[in-house]
Amino acid sequence: MNPPSDLPPVSRRATLKSISSGFGYLAFAAMAHEQAQAETEAAPVNNPLAPKKPHFKARAKRVIFLSMRGAPSHLDTFDYKPQLKKDDGKPGKYARLRSNKLLGSPWSFARHGQSGLWVSELLPELAGHADDLCVLHGMHTDVPNHPQAQTQMHTGSFQFVRPSLGAWSLYGLGTENADLPGFVALNPPTGNAQQFGSAFLPAIYQGARFGSSQRRSGRRARGGGRSAVPNISNPRLNRDLQRRQLDFVQELNRGQLERDRYQPEIEGMIESYELAFRMQDELPELMDLADESQETLDLYGVNGRETDRFGRQCLLARRFSEAGVRFVELTHGNWDHHRNLTTDLPARCQEIDRPIAGLLTDLQRRDLLNDTLVIWAGEFGRTPHGQGGDGRDHNNKGYTTWMAGGGDKGGFRYGAADPHGYEAVEGKMHIHDWHATILHLLGLDHEQLTFRHAGRDFRLTDVHGQVASEILG
């Protein structure tokens, strides 16, 4: 063994010993990154997940991010383009080849609510919430390929491994329920850990995934109330005996950490054990929908043929948010409609329409919508010209996302794409701007929310990002 000549100073050993369970272990990361820590003074040194004060008054306290993988067509959902309809069948000037004809939306749009926001007939229930939606029509991103764009949407970078939006939010604000992870990803796609990851931020900030892949709790969990959480209880030991065992495991882990001197992964592991232990009590209850009324289940479309799966997720999202989880992310897939637009897009819309409308209604009546930011977004949009007669291609130059609640303006349209919906021309919002705005709603200044790594301060927005102050309510 080497002499421990380069031990971090003072009381680390003492700190280690003083912690028996619960939060506080990551004190360590703090010491290894004093500089970074110094800049985020709001953070109490001993508890990386404790609620932290935002940089300024937050409009939103928590986030529910509805991630639509595959890139839904903005032109057939939220971005009404009458000119495109008029020019239907004309050669598309955007495609390099003139053989791709413009494709007006096959669906009709109508104005809804007092705001008169345009929503397509594919989303009738969500249209009822028109006055809650803040629709961003000027979105654009860098790459028209799914994997890169999805990664960029989540982390700001499609090239490098960077912490995800959820991890940054948690790092910035901590969480309000010590017995649950602060960042929860429900039904995430397999793989793609990076999109929920913490990269160089401490491991405790990464998203805990539930119901991953379609296997265990996912696809076929119909009917009954309880969603399975694998391994949630010990078949042999009661709580007291298990605590004894866990104390011993943690003693071993701390021993290893002392020998290694600095090992963020082991710190993460220690934290993760404590969290897991506490989750055993809270999580089964939280994921059990048995105490929800029939009316509520219906509101979300739980047990509905098309809506059950996403309805459950939306309902769980509300339950997690209510329980104090800072960032909940839901995934809904199969939006990549190169073909069969006229059959597949309505099917996808039907799967999400009621669940999301139900979520907004439910948050509203529980008085949670004011400070819960609901975000709906695909990784990019789709082209105004058709593809193969009944489809649309990828379009990263202009697309639409929306937010609701959380202190943004409801019934509001911000930005615009050109009359055919191809390229953002007004109120342009790059992913960096979008991230900056989301952090702003959470009371975080994207330029101040930094973490020191490899000798420099990193931000979610790199050196970019403009808050779209027009949308603030």
42, 190, 226, 281: residue in contact with another protein (rule CB under 8 A): 190
Q: Please, which of residues 330-359 interact with another protein by CB under 8 A? A: 339
Cα dihedral across residues 402, 403, 408, 409: positive or negative:
positive
Should residue 20 be labelled a site residue for another protein when binding is judged by CB under 8 A? no
15, 21, 83, 242: residue in contact with another protein (rule CB under 8 A): 242
Should residue 148 be labelled a site residue for another protein when binding is judged by CB under 8 A? yes
Should residue 240 be labelled a site residue for another protein when binding is judged by CB under 8 A? yes
CB 170 within 8 A of CB 203: no
Q: Please, which of residues 77-106 interact with another protein by CB under 8 A? A: 95-97, 99-100
CA–centroid distance for 24 within its chain: 26
**How far, in Å, CA of 409 to CA of 134, rounded?**
6
- x-marked contacts with another protein along 377-396 as a string, rule CB under 8 A: ----------xxx---x---
Instruction: Tell me whether residue 95 or residue 135 sits nearer to another protein (CB atom).
Output: 95
14, 57, 230, 293: residue in contact with another protein (rule CB under 8 A): 230
- What are the tokens at 378? 């695909």
Instruction: Tell me whether residue 108 or residue 190 sits nearer to another protein (CB atom).
Output: 190
**How far, in Å, CA of 470 to CA of 473, rounded?**
8
HEC string of 418-454 equals CCCCCCEEECCEEHHHHHHHHHHHCCCCCCCCCEEEC
Q: Please, which of residues 268-297 interact with another protein by CB under 8 A? A: 268-270, 272-273, 275-277, 279-280
**How far, in Å, CA of 100 to CA of 116, rounded?**
32
- What are the tokens at 214? 């379609």
Q: Please, which of residues 443-472 interact with another protein by CB under 8 A? A: 453-455
In the complex, least distance from residue 182 CB atom to another protein, rounded to whole angstroms: 11
In the complex, least distance from residue 400 CB atom to another protein, rounded to whole angstroms: 23
Using DSSP, how many helices (H) and how many strands (E) does the chain show?
13, 17
- Of the listed pieces 240-248, 286-294, 307-315, 350-358, which binds another protein according to CB under 8 A? 240-248
CA–centroid distance for 341 within its chain: 26
86, 93, 111, 244: residue in contact with another protein (rule CB under 8 A): 244
Instruction: Tell me whether residue 268 or residue 407 sits nearer to another protein (CB atom).
Output: 268
Is 86 strand, coil or helix?
A: helix
CB 345 within 8 A of CB 387: no
